[in-house]
Amino acid sequence: MEFNNTEVAFKHKSNFELKRAYWLFKLLSMGYLSILGRKFLNLLLTLKFPVDFIILKSVYPQFCGGRDIAECTPVIKSLIKNGVYSTLDYSVEACKNENDFEKSMQKCLNILDDIDRSKSSKFIVFKPSSVGSLELYRKIGSNVKLSELEERQLDAVESRFNKICTQAKEKQMKVLIDAEESWIQSAIDKLVINQMLIFNKKEALVFNTVQAYRHDRYDYLINLHKKYKGKIKIGIKLVRGAYMEKENNRANKYGYKSPICKSKNLTDRSFNDCLKHILKNINDYNLFMGSHNEKSNILACKLMDELKLKKDDKRVWFSQLYGMSDNISFNLSKHGYNVAKYLPYGPINEVMPYLIRRLNENSSISSQTNRELQLIKSEMIRRNIN
């Protein structure tokens, strides 16, 4: 399995789109210029300067599908034409009150309604913090006694999880539930397991997320397996984890041991251990692996081969974010593996925090950005454009 075939990787991109991606990644790779650019953008946003037009013509189309589902349709079509499924992600962050939570749930239900008409999606995804309060999750996780109001709020959260899963089942879709910060994750783990116990009896409809950068997650997985093996199919989205800095800072601030592995090598080892455990026990699991790491994707293919699993075994899915690592997604799909890109969408002001995270991530992991740039350049040379 190789990920260097740029013709396959960028077949879905026009020359114009390719050049736009080139300039974007070029800017992100330019250390100080990139920092200045992002600071300037933050300043414009703070001053409520109308930046929509600039965003819409630059970063937005690289990382988002559109402002609503209709606008995403051409993107979804072009992905599926090249064998890649879309996982629509209404990328709203920082929901604060019951109204916001209801609205987010409704967005998920709308996706399930609209997407039902196309055969280009198999999964829906939501963030627990978009349907319930962070403070409530934190309290549950710390075993603090809930007030009557909080008990009612918890019932409402469970009901939102359940409504999304029920509708997904009707539409024959699967539900991925994102993982967030460790201090809210134990509450989420419990809520997700409750839904798995309802919906995962015969096949995995509900997926919890395991963040391998947490040093306790391999043991968590092994215990989950011991407890539920034979009772349900355990759906797992396996990722490395996105909140490392926040986790370490909080642990420092409050003086407890950080839940994050001490080094990247240890995170990689934890990721590989989780991956091997799941694939070796695939009869008890469904796996959705979210990673831009080429070695991890190659390892998964190799293990599937060794274990004599078919490339398109319906229990194993690969995923990358829209606008990133197309070389992995499209080459995997070309070789017959199941691939679904996360496709964030939403109005510009609502997806702005997501876009800023993408810009920051692509600037901080310079090896990833340089790799993207190198692949785009090769394809521009191959197409003879400059």
Ligand X SMILES: Cc1cc2nc3c(=O)[nH]c(=O)nc-3n(C[C@H](O)[C@H](O)[C@H](O)COP(=O)(O)OP(=O)(O)OC[C@H]3O[C@@H](n4cnc5c(N)ncnc54)[C@H](O)[C@@H]3O)c2cc1C
Q: Which of residues 130-159 bind ligand X (CB under 6 A)?
A: none
CB neighbour list of residue 314: distance below 8 Å, 6 or more residues apart = 338
Closest alpha carbon to 287 in 295, 279, 299: 279
Q: Residue 60 has which token pair? A: 């937005």
Task: Tally the residues of the chain.
Answer: 386
**Residue 192 to residue 359: CA distance in whole angstroms:** 30
Is 129 near ligand X (CB under 6 A)? no
Give 33's Cβ-side CA count (13 Å radius). 8
Closest alpha carbon to 319 in 174, 214, 192: 174
Of 46-54, 114-122, 236-244, 377-385, the segment contacting ligand X by CB under 6 A is 236-244
- Nearest to ligand X of 5, 293 (CB atom): 293
- Nearest to ligand X of 22, 342 (CB atom): 342
**Residue 351 to residue 366: CA distance in whole angstroms:** 23
Q: Which of residues 241-300 bind ligand X (CB under 6 A)?
A: 241-244, 260-261, 263-264, 267, 290-293, 296
CB neighbour list of residue 219: distance below 8 Å, 6 or more residues apart = none
Choosing from 129, 200, 208, 211, the residue that interacts with ligand X (CB under 6 A) is: 211
Binding residues for ligand X, total number by CB under 6 A: 27
- Nearest to ligand X of 324, 380 (CB atom): 324
Is 63 near ligand X (CB under 6 A)? no
Of 24-32, 74-82, 209-217, 225-233, the segment contacting ligand X by CB under 6 A is 209-217
**Residue 150 to residue 154: CA distance in whole angstroms:** 6
Tell me the closest approach of the beta carbon of residue 177 to ligand X, in angstroms: 8
Is 182 near ligand X (CB under 6 A)? no
- Nearest to ligand X of 120, 368 (CB atom): 368
Return the axis-axis angle of helices 31-46 and 348-364, rounded to nearest 10°. 160
CB neighbour list of residue 216: distance below 8 Å, 6 or more residues apart = 259
Tell me the closest approach of the beta carbon of residue 51 to ligand X, in angstroms: 26
**Residue 343 to residue 62: CA distance in whole angstroms:** 11
Choosing from 24, 299, 321, 351, the residue that interacts with ligand X (CB under 6 A) is: 321
Q: Residue 48 has which token pair? A: 């409520």
Choosing from 319, 329, 338, 363, the residue that interacts with ligand X (CB under 6 A) is: 319
- Nearest to ligand X of 41, 188 (CB atom): 188
C-beta atoms surrounding 205 within 10 Å: 23
- Nearest to ligand X of 173, 380 (CB atom): 173
Is 179 near ligand X (CB under 6 A)? yes
Choosing from 8, 112, 191, 239, the residue that interacts with ligand X (CB under 6 A) is: 239
Asked if 245 contacts 298 with a C-beta cutoff of 8 angstroms, the reply is no
**Residue 96 to residue 278: CA distance in whole angstroms:** 35
Among all residues, whose Cβ is closest to ligand X? 290
Q: Residue 191 has which token pair? A: 């809520």
In sign, the C-alpha dihedral spanning 127, 130, 132, 135 is positive
- Nearest to ligand X of 22, 243 (CB atom): 243
Tell me the closest approach of the beta carbon of residue 230 to ligand X, in angstroms: 27
- Nearest to ligand X of 296, 331 (CB atom): 296
Is 320 near ligand X (CB under 6 A)? yes
Tell me which residues touch ligand X (CB under 6 A). Answer: 178-179, 209, 211, 213, 239-244, 260-261, 263-264, 267, 290-293, 296, 319-321, 342, 365, 368
